[in-house]
Amino acid sequence: MNKTDLAFTSALEQAQLIRSGEVSPLELVELYLERIQQLDGQIGSYFTVMAESAIADAKAKTELLSRSDEFPPFFGVPIAIKDLNAVAGVPCTYGVPVLKNEIATYDDGVVTRIRHAGFTIIGKTATSELGSFPYTEPTGFLPTRNPWNLERTAGGSSGGSAAAVAAGLCAIAQGSDAGGSIRGPAFCCGLVGIKPSRGRVSWAPVGDRLSGLSSNGPIARTVADAAALLDVMSGYITGDPYWLPDPEPSFLAATTQQLGRLRIAFTTAIPPIGEADPICQQAVRDTVKKLQSMGHIVEPGCPDFNGLIEPFTRIWQSAVGASGIPPEVLQPLNQWLLAQSGTAGDYLRAVAQMQAIARQIVAFFDSVDVLIAPTYMHPTISVGEWANLSPEETLQRMINWIAPCPPFNASGQPAIALPTGFDRNGVPIGIQLVGRPAAESTVIALAAQLEATIELSQYRPAIAV
């Protein structure tokens, strides 16, 4: 196998290659570090490359291979962590330049689980400032570009994680999603991204700042890789405000599950925003035809999202103030969002309004197993496309683009972004599958069925080959 093929080999296959002795953890880490050095100056997917610690970890694991035959599932496989999550001994910048020298003193709970699964952490990936935006262009860092077309964004706020996976600069990556920040970058970069159900993945040891909107989740090239990483990340940690029982069987097992006949709704419009771009509509319609050919019952339908934008925006923008970072060091848009955030009473009223609307959204699924919807309302924007707009104009553009994603952060339901093809600029497009609360296994199984008909993981960005 040549080096490029190895870099794009799935994380699950890499783990098997390590166990069989065909490749070592050290060879994999050195391969990705070489690719990062060659390519990431153009892509901007990493804030911090942990070369020294990754090589030391890989050497230790390579030596251990000769002394044991029992290993955790992803022993020696390189992974990247989004720079909104703490990794002990490494800066955690949140996309804010003044924090470049702030060294984390602990691992987030999800990072601990990733280490216990045997992964080698190779670096911290780029995020938009405080994770606020659906593009990754924080001041003081390189903008994160889409490996499929460097003029386009990789999305946000998990843009660095998606760009790194898409360019073959890591095997798999962790992201987080409070309004589409996993699904959006997956859409932009032609990847699989899972936003789990509320309570599936712990935020330990820190608390929940957004009334359950945000969740950690996987970004991968295949459904199986994403499902297997979700298995690793999932589980209760003492004191979690929300939690779910462990899945039985595993999410990875769900990828080979034989599904019965599902009742599936689809929509190409998001009220009150309107219809998606024609190419995004077509992605939904093409998916509907495939699902019908599989024997599923597929009919038009959509939950009522009216009234959600205002309370959701109020809660989401409060994260700027919750960060405790002085506004004078933030980008103008985050400064403006902070100024609009209102009082504690405004926040609590918004939470109550959002929860009432979320009940209506979840009730829609009483008679539907899965909803098929656009991931975003139109294809990927250019890097810097909104840089000269006012904060008010930028916020409206963001809302109009990401509209299909936030409702399911509000409701806490699982959703998976799946690529379906490319637009006229050679940039990926796709759809999302939304399931009932805690029903990740259903959407994962359905995504695996669809993936088998698309087979996009064989394609690679020209820059990465």
Catalytic positions, written as ranges: 82, 157, 181
Separation between Cα atoms, residue 132 and residue 216, nearest integer Å: 15
Asked if 97 contacts 290 with a C-beta cutoff of 8 angstroms, the reply is no
160: nearest Cα among 194, 126, 124, 123? 126
DSSP code for 136: -
250: nearest Cα among 200, 293, 206? 200
Write the CA distances from 310 to 210, 226, 303, 336, integer angstroms. 15, 32, 17, 16
With a CB cutoff of 8 Å and minimum separation 6, the contacts of 260 are none
Asked if 55 contacts 213 with a C-beta cutoff of 8 angstroms, the reply is no
203: phi > 0 → left, psi -120 to 50 → alpha, else beta; which?
A: alpha
Report the C-alpha dihedral over residues 246, 249, 252, 256, rounded to 10 degrees.
-150
With a CB cutoff of 8 Å and minimum separation 6, the contacts of 272 are 305, 306, 309
Instruction: Compute the 3-state secondary structure of the chain and give helix, strand, coil in percent, each to the nearest 5.
Output: 40, 15, 40
9: phi > 0 → left, psi -120 to 50 → alpha, else beta; which?
A: beta
Separation between Cα atoms, residue 131 and residue 138, nearest integer Å: 10
- Give the number of other CB atoms < 10 A from CB of residue 340: 16
- In 272-330, DSSP assigns E strands to 274-275, 297-300
385: phi > 0 → left, psi -120 to 50 → alpha, else beta; which?
A: alpha
239: nearest Cα among 211, 195, 198, 199? 199
Asked if 174 contacts 216 with a C-beta cutoff of 8 angstroms, the reply is yes
For 209, the 3-state DSSP assignment is coil
Q: How far is CA 231 from the centre of its chain?
A: 15
